[in-house]
């Protein structure tokens, strides 16, 4: 599958008094890009929740390099860095879509839970979903 980066404009409400994007928005953008990637491979988060599968964030980090500003369009590329059926981690690059300047990098890790908030293995719970996520691991 040819993965496409997630593109989005920087909205005015996302900026602070210095006219740059407030740092908390980068984490939101990670989530938007992650959900977009899932949609690209045919997985809807709503469908997962309907099946009783939750994917909470257990760790997230962001390194800010250059400020995004109102009027910019950002390109966010999430890449699955690890997946074992119980836990999945992503690496992210946020770039200015026009200049391709790297603005921020980050990562997030998630586990899989059932509706009772107990850990589950997708390999056992939903083998088809497991194969979809396993297919996202980049071969080196």
Known catalytic residues?
Answer: 16
The rounded distance, in Å, linking the Cα atoms of 31 and 93 is 13
* Token code pair at residue 101: 């300047």
Q: CA 112, CA 88: separation in Å to the nearest integer?
A: 8
Q: Alpha carbon 106 to chain centroid distance?
A: 10
Residue with tokens 């059926």: 85
Q: Residue 128: CB partners within 8 Å, gap ≥ 6?
A: none
Q: 2-16 burial by CB neighbour count: b if 16+ within 10 A, else e?
A: eeebbebebeeebbe
């Amino acid at each position: 599958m040819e993965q496409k980066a997630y593109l989005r404009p920087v909205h005015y409400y996302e900026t602070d008094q210095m006219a740059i994007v407030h740092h908390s928005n980068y984490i939101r953008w990670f989530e938007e890009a992650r959900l977009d990637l899932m949609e690209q491979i045919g997985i809807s988060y709503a469908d997962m929740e309907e099946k009783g599968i939750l994917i909470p964030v257990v760790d997230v980090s962001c390194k800010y390099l250059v400020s995004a500003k109102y009027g910019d369009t950002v390109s966010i590329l999430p890449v699955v860095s690890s997946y074992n059926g119980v836990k999945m981690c992503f690496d992210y690059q946020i770039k200015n879509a026009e200049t391709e300047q790297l603005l921020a990098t980050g990562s997030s890790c998630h586990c899989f839970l059932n509706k009772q908030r107990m850990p589950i293995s997708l390999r056992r719970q939903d083998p088809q979903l497991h194969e979809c996520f396993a297919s996202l691991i980049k071969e080196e």
